[in-house]
Amino acid sequence: MSEPSCSVAHRLLLRCATGAQVREAHASLMVTGELVSSPVAAAVFLHNTLIRAYARTGGAAHLEAILVYRHLLRSALPPDTHTFPFLLKASAAALPGSAIAAAQGGAAHAQIVRLGFSGQLHATNALIHFYSLAGDLPAARRLLETSATTDVVSFNTLITGYCRSGNSAAARKLFDEMPQRNGISWTAMISGHVHCGEEREALSLFSAMQSSGVPPMAATLVSVLSACAQLGALEQGRWVHRHLRVSGGGAATINVFLGTALIDMYAKCGEVDAAVAVFEAMPERNLLSWTTLIGGLAVHGRGTAALRLFEQMETSGVAPDDVAFVAALSACSHAGLLDDGRRIFAAMRRRYGVEPKLEHYGCLVDLLARGGRLTEAMAAVEEMPVSPDGRIWSALMAGCRFHGDAKLAERVAERLVALEPDNGGVYVLLANVYGAAGRHGEAVRVRGAMRRRCLGKAPGWSSVEVGGEVHQFTAGGGSHPAAAAARAKWAAVERRLREEEGYVPGREEVLVEVEEEEKDAAVGGHSEKIAMGFAMLRSGEGERMRIMKNLRVCGDCHRATKLVSKVFRREIVVRDRTRFHIFRDGRCSCGDYW
């Protein structure tokens, strides 16, 4: 740009980092008249620079980029090839919820065609990005297939769009068909699998990425660590940590995102001490780093340590948000810290102005119900400013079951059935409450109602990592090729528990109307017992076992696992739906409070 004044304005805009600074520069240009009085090329250049500056900032500034574009048209200035990529970027960023942005994206597409810019690669990629975020994936796909010029960015953008919408199958098909890939392509697909809950596919693809010789990016490893965390794949997570230390030159080079992902992975794989070590070695921490470790300590039952860390976070100048309060309240719930939980809940609004949400009330109700304060828990539910959801009633129901309050359980069950009429777990919980209270007739009646409505409990499964490979079993062993051998091994283990420790399988959570020998078989076929049998079959004597379960550990499996840890001198880590249990020498870290 030859005009000195225009060059100065351009440099000023490029230095703007916030929407307020861009608006100030914009206002200055309007006052001096440069936007319209400059030569045509300079005026278009200034408009483009403003659009770009607004597109780079957040919030309402994205919509202001659209207003600048409209000012360009009203001033009878011709858009050029640099106008549309940033206009479309701003329009896409303003989605969803903005009818103006949605309409502007379509109008920009029409203008691109009318002005003959359809063959411009940057315009094509910006359009694919816009349509992907707008949810119009068919339009994005048509652009990819019909545009004169596309590149790896075009494919990556659409892959990300498919994954964001939950259509990982279409994303993977496109990935497999790509004429060429780069590290971003692999990362987009790996993170897409994780986003869609397909962690095994993510790790398998990561192995293929390594075999292809493409070096992983930091974002790749964050997604891989997330997959390891969800699967409990500790050895693969450790490999990533070692890779970072070797390739990056030491722990100090692990950025805050990778560090937080490592904390999450170790905590969810039962290695909370390793998570603490990563946290302490991080040169930089953010709110998410603190919150992740607080939550990790919480699910391991280390409530006091979690609250101590919460206080350290506050004193370090990091103000807790609503997610951090959920982690702190969860720590109180898992450890039975009633007074601390009440204090933290009260401090949310009073000290930090954070309004409690359903999640916070859920933690409070769970804390009170676990602690036997069922009347207080019911009062908290009834006084909530928002309608309680199924999770809150389920927490109260679990407290009724734990403390044997069948009368309150009936009231709670009515609320739960009204909210979730197709949730078979409600009937199972109520039947178990009746069974524990000796009211077997009512338990049979509830089970009968459950069968008549064709409702079932969510199928249980457990996975165990042996030799760096994760194996999954359902009740009875499922379809795993080693299921029969694992069942036989567990039967041998159970015989030894009976002989040496007088173990008798608990039958509280089995259908009360089945025969006695069927009850023993049902309890013995629980997925975590089959997983333990498999681990003992395939691992060395005394090796640590790590089991992940999708449901809450039942009382009998908990007792049996304590005995296994004592008789076979094994440390066993079990991660169930809500927390970790570390079994050593016949004791559990939860203190039988779960």
Amino acid type, 581: H
Residues 6+ apart with CB under 8 A from 246: none
CA dist 443 and 437 (Å) reads 10
What angle do helix axes 183-195 and 218-231 make, rounded to 10 degrees?
Answer: 30
Tokens found for residue 140: 């994005």
CA dist 77 and 73 (Å) reads 6
Q: Is 585 left (phi over 0), alpha (psi -120 to 50) or beta?
A: left
Identify the pLDDT of residue 10. Answer: 63
Side by side, the strands of the sheet bearing 545-549 are 469-474, 461-466, 545-549, 572-575, 580-584, 587-588
CA dist 506 and 524 (Å) reads 10
Taking the model in full, what pTM does it have?
0.84
- Going by their DSSP bridges, the two strands 587-588 and 580-584 should be labelled as antiparallel
CA dist 544 and 536 (Å) reads 10
Identify the pLDDT of residue 27. Answer: 83
**Residue 389, helix vs strand vs coil:** coil
CA dist 340 and 86 (Å) reads 51
Tokens found for residue 146: 């019909």
Identify the pLDDT of residue 512. Answer: 41
Identify the pLDDT of residue 65. Answer: 92
Identify the pLDDT of residue 514. Answer: 37
Identify the pLDDT of residue 519. Answer: 43
Nearest to 483 by CA among 435, 527, 418, 515: 527
**Residue 469, helix vs strand vs coil:** strand
Identify the pLDDT of residue 517. Answer: 38
CA dist 70 and 90 (Å) reads 13
Nearest to 532 by CA among 555, 554, 517, 549: 549
Q: What is the CA radius of gyration of the chain?
A: 29
- Is residue 75 a contact partner of residue 36, using CB atoms and an 8 Å limit? yes
Helix-, strand-, coil-residue percentages of the chain, each rounded to 5? 70, 5, 25
Identify the pLDDT of residue 299. Answer: 94
Identify the pLDDT of residue 38. Answer: 80
Residues lower than pLDDT 70 in the chain:
1-14, 16-17, 248-253, 456-457, 507-524
Structure letter (DSSP) for residue 574: E
